[in-house]
Structure 1
Amino acid sequence: MPTNANGPRLRIKLRLEYDSPLILGPGKAELLSRIDRLGSISAAAREMGMSYKRAWTLVEEMNVAFAQPVIDRARGGAGGGGATVTPTGKDVLTHYRALETLLREAGADHLQALNALLHPEPEG
């Protein structure tokens, strides 16, 4: 991807809009990825700087939209709670990341051309 001294000027962000109210974009993909790594919706939300309520709402949107849940959640208690990305959730994330890579690689020349058409970056 073309860069200048400050990094890329234009980037592609994949946003998939479905007939249901689901929109799958970089934020939900990142939330899934962090829940997978951390095993916790609240820990993933904290890392992303969002409220637990917002993260849970996003998880619920995805769980309702897909035929199978993307996250399994265990309630807190003596042993603590937790969250697991399901096989469906892992598939969603894998396909989403593959589409991002495809767009980034196939679109590199177009991004470079669009960057060339932008006003020059101010110096300073």
Structure 2
Amino acid sequence: MSTHHSGDPKDPAQTPRLRVLLGEVTAMGPGKAMLLEAIREQGSISAAARHVGMSYRRAWDLVETMNQSFREPVIATAKGGSGGGGAQITDFGETVLARYRDMERKACEALRDELHAFADFLADDYEP
């Protein structure tokens, strides 16, 4: 089991979680970014939901929230049927995702030393 003293910059205890709010709604956060990447890889909301261990309903709700939160849709969907449906990340969605991941990276870099120092305050072993 890893502890907070691992020194690993990918250690979740030392990784800030960036959320971009639009009023009281999270327009973009870690779960939505992960879902966008899964939709890009899987080609559908249902397959992406399975891939990330999320219910289809939750994934669909997140897609709707994102599409309503931004000036343009981030995900384009096609209705199912005999030819099958699907979903894909739009060019605008790719831009949003890239900018979000860049902000995450910059936040981690800017806070790296502070997070490492803060980790000294944390218990070595915590199991909820």
Q: Taking structure 1 as the reference length, what is the TM-score of the superposition?
A: 0.86
**RMSD value, Cα:** 2.1
> 1:23, CA displacement in angstroms?
3.5
Indicate the SS of the match to 1:42: helix
Which digits, 9 at most, give the CA deviation of each residue in 1:56-104, with x for residues without a partner? 1110111111111111100111111110101111111001100110011
- Structure 2: 5+ residue runs without aligned partners? none
* Contact 1:16–1:23 (Cα < 8 Å) also in 2: yes
Q: Is the contact made by 1:20 and 1:65 (CA closer than 8 Å) also made in structure 2?
A: no
Q: Which residue of 2 aligns with 1:93?
A: 97
Q: Say whether residues 1:105 and 2:109 are aligned partners.
A: yes
Equivalent pairs counted in the alignment come to 120
Q: Which of 102, 112, 116 lines up with 2:120 in the alignment? A: 116
The 5 Å alignment of 1:10-21 reads 10-19=14-23, 21=25
Q: Map of 1:57-96 to 2, 5 A cutoff?
A: 57-96=61-100
Name the residue aligned to 1:32: 36
| Identity, % of aligned positions | 46
Look up the equivalent residue of 2:42 and give its one-letter code: L
Matching of residue 41 in structure 1 with residue 30 in structure 2: no
Match for 2:18: what amino acid?
L
Whether the 8 Å CA contact 1:36–1:85 is kept in 2: the answer is yes
**Structure 1 runs, 4 residues or longer, greater than 4 Å off:** none
Q: TM-score, normalised by structure 2?
A: 0.84
Residue number in structure 2 paired with 1:4: 6
Letter in 2 for 1:52: Y
Q: CA deviation at 1:52?
A: 1.0
